[in-house]
A and B are shown apart, each in its own frame.
Chain A
Amino acid sequence: MSLLEIRNLGIHFHTENGVVEAVKGISIKLEKGETLAIVGESGSGKSVTGLALTRLLPEPPARYVSGEILLDGRDVLKMKGDELRKLRGKRIAYVFQEPSTSLNPVFTIRSQIAEALKLHRPEVKDLDAEIIKCLDLVGITNPAQRLHDYPHQLSGGMQQRVMIAMALACQPDLLVADEPTTALDVTIQAQIMDQFRDLRSKLHMAVILITHNFGIISNFADKVAVMFRGKIVEYGPTAEVLRNPQHAYTKALIQCIPRLGARQHRLVTIDHAALEAAS
């Protein structure tokens, strides 16, 4: 049985300006320890898909109109509140894009990580020791001194490491990282991606990496799903998709990756009108 299987998932938002069809019948399969990248432009439904895995979308306005999300064969969309809460953080954990706003500004690092531990791992007696272990794992130097810091006392890269430590504290089977490096500067981005790679193999986690940057996935993801306007237009092993893209949109995205040393004088842009006509 796969760790995660999404079948024909459809999600609508009922807003004042009408119905937004954010996700239109997508299917994805993910095995234990595997890494999937979901790539696509802004508004294509990547984040909505990620949040749907534990039903984190606010309902209303969100509505799950079709399909199922099977985690170890059990449908998340049929679960009750209590079961869902046991899933969140414990089996599926998240790292979000903006660490500075995703951490609660008025609680210390310690209390925010401890909250997850108390919920899902009540057997942990020495919280401080466990939290220090987590912070150490994500490469925070002097973790013991950081425990009582507030988020604003840390740099953006450090904040994101804290987010990762918090996500890993309960040893999830699947980590959903939604543009985890977009808000960080380039050198820190590379460090954080290395950290993910390292942790993934250490902890045998499956990872879903959501990004609009094709460049960072080639040596990171086993599989890639390309999303365009709420649909998956291309899905397959990363190397294959990169070598031989089928869909016009994927080709355009791959062309957009700026290559070092390439004789390119202008950045390639995507012609939406042409794509629209094609699909």
Chain B
Amino acid sequence: MIAYIIRRLLYVLPIVFGVMLITFILFFVMQTRETMAKAQLGPRAKPAEVKNWLHERGYDKPVVINAAWADPAYHHTDQPWWDSIFINQMKNFATFELGESDFNREPIGEKIKSGMVPSLMITVPAMFVGLFLAVALALVQVLYRASALDTGMTVACAVLMSIVPMAYIISAQNLMAITLKWLPAFGFDLQGWGTIRFLMLPVSVMAVIYLGSDVRLYRSIFLEEIAQDYVRTAQAKGVSGRGVLFKHVLKNGAISLITLVVAHLPLLIMGSLLIENFFGIPGLGGLVVNAIQKQDFAIVRAAVFIGSLLYLFGLLLTDICYAVADPRIRLS
């Protein structure tokens, strides 16, 4: 198991390198560095300003290799061959040096650290509340399967699924903040327990947005288990309907649930674009959207780097949880 984990961690290196390579190529295919500078400085920026902007951010170096044959326009004779944009970036990522924002040269690491906290404060509770609700509702449906309650809940899920997320956001803000004035509609402030007031609305909206589809998915997972032979064996032993469901079916179904849920856990750090935008939460989701809008490629790059690491970590975590939950699986 340890050997397996180490091997999987080694696979991370080439995969992340590949992701960063593709991201790098895309940036330079899409634009020249001059257009990048002008996007920040404005179209009327003087050549000297552009040059200075590029120099401050290290973009005045050759793209791949510092050599006359590779990139004569940007060749720096006084620097070694490895002093190129690509190699510098990779070196920085390898040491988790995320660099500075292209826009205002603020350290990206700091920005991410401070954005992570509000993001996690929304996504983690939302994910657990949502998971708990969806599993509980799905189990109720399976327990009363093929009854009017089951049908009614299926219809309710379809309704929940067909409402656009924006409608949840606006109606929640309207009801709880504007009409009842119980909770703030917008904004975020870290103030100990008082923070909860800012979290209630975004967390509940986020939990509800995916509820319909999750309940349906979990219901079908549990129904599939209910049809298995071991369920009949348990019934033949005299185990009650609830006992069969909560012991036998839940444990087997949980193994399928793990793949769906655990892979997403690390990505919770990245926050939710939609929720953070509409509830004014200064989290990572908002940070990335802003960076894209401002063409702040340094931040986008860092986000891609962290995102791919987290994603791979989620996959590894899934496999480990699988092996822990399912006695049939041995990692090797």
- The B239-269 residues at the A interface (CB cut-off 8 A) are 239-241, 248, 251-252, 255
The residue in chain B whose Cβ has the minimal distance to the Cβ of A84 is B238
Chain B binding surface SS class: helix
List chain B residues, Cβ under 8 A from A81: 240-241
Shortest C-beta distance, B137 to chain A (Å), equals 22
Shortest C-beta distance, A176 to chain B (Å), equals 9
Query: Which one, A66-74, A101-109, A204-212, is touching chain B?
Result: A101-109
The answer to whether the Cβ of B26 comes within 8 Å of any Cβ in the partner chain is no
The answer to whether the Cβ of B79 comes within 8 Å of any Cβ in the partner chain is no
The answer to whether the Cβ of B55 comes within 8 Å of any Cβ in the partner chain is no
Decide: A102 and B235 in contact? CB cutoff 8 A: no
- The A37-64 residues at the B interface (CB cut-off 8 A) are 51, 54, 56, 60
List chain B residues, Cβ under 8 A from A98: 229
Decide: A104 and B233 in contact? CB cutoff 8 A: yes
The answer to whether the Cβ of B328 comes within 8 Å of any Cβ in the partner chain is yes
Partner of B236, one of A94, A103, A107: A94
The answer to whether the Cβ of B192 comes within 8 Å of any Cβ in the partner chain is no
Among B240, B248, B327, the most chain A Cβ lie within 10 Å of the Cβ of: B327
Decide: A88 and B229 in contact? CB cutoff 8 A: no
The answer to whether the Cβ of A152 comes within 8 Å of any Cβ in the partner chain is yes
The answer to whether the Cβ of A93 comes within 8 Å of any Cβ in the partner chain is yes
Decide: A101 and B238 in contact? CB cutoff 8 A: no
- The A75-110 residues at the B interface (CB cut-off 8 A) are 81, 85-90, 93-94, 96, 98, 101-107
Partner of B230, one of A56, A94, A104: A104
- The B197-249 residues at the A interface (CB cut-off 8 A) are 228-230, 232-241, 248
Decide: B229 and A90 in contact? CB cutoff 8 A: no
Q: A118-157 CB contact bits vs B (8 Å, 1 = yes)?
A: 0110000000000000000000000000000010100000
Interface size for A (C-beta < 8 A) is 30
Among A93, A102, A104, A163, the most chain B Cβ lie within 10 Å of the Cβ of: A104
Decide: A101 and B229 in contact? CB cutoff 8 A: yes
Decide: B248 and A54 in contact? CB cutoff 8 A: no
The answer to whether the Cβ of A166 comes within 8 Å of any Cβ in the partner chain is yes
The answer to whether the Cβ of A194 comes within 8 Å of any Cβ in the partner chain is no
List chain B residues, Cβ under 8 A from A152: 327-328
Partner of A90, one of B146, B228, B238, B326: B238
The answer to whether the Cβ of A115 comes within 8 Å of any Cβ in the partner chain is yes
The residue in chain A whose Cβ has the minimal distance to the Cβ of B229 is A101
The answer to whether the Cβ of A252 comes within 8 Å of any Cβ in the partner chain is no
Q: A89 to B244, alpha carbons, bound, how many Å?
A: 14
Q: How large is the interface on B (under 10, 10 to 19, 20 to 34, 35 or more residues)?
A: 20 to 34
Partner of A107, one of B235, B241, B251: B251
Decide: A101 and B251 in contact? CB cutoff 8 A: no
Q: A90 to B237, alpha carbons, bound, how many Å?
A: 8
List chain A residues, Cβ under 8 A from B252: 104-106
Decide: B239 and A102 in contact? CB cutoff 8 A: no
The residue in chain B whose Cβ has the minimal distance to the Cβ of A104 is B230
Shortest C-beta distance, B329 to chain A (Å), equals 10
Q: A107 to B243, alpha carbons, bound, how many Å?
A: 14
Instruction: Knowing A106-B252, A152-B327 are in contact, say whether A119-B236 is a contact too (CB < 8 A).
Output: no
Shortest C-beta distance, A205 to chain B (Å), equals 16
List chain B residues, Cβ under 8 A from A254: none
The answer to whether the Cβ of A116 comes within 8 Å of any Cβ in the partner chain is yes
List chain A residues, Cβ under 8 A from B236: 54, 56, 88-89, 93-94, 96
Decide: A56 and B235 in contact? CB cutoff 8 A: yes
Shortest C-beta distance, A86 to chain B (Å), equals 7
Q: 8 pairs across A/B with beta carbons < 8 Å?
A: A81-B240, A88-B237, A94-B236, A102-B233, A103-B230, A115-B239, A116-B238, A166-B233
**Closest CB pairs A-B (n = 4):** A89-B238, A101-B229, A88-B238, A104-B230
Given contacts A54-B236, A93-B237, A166-B237, 12 further A-B contacts (CB under 8 A): A56-B232, A60-B146, A85-B240, A88-B237, A88-B238, A102-B233, A105-B326, A106-B327, A107-B251, A120-B238, A152-B328, A163-B233
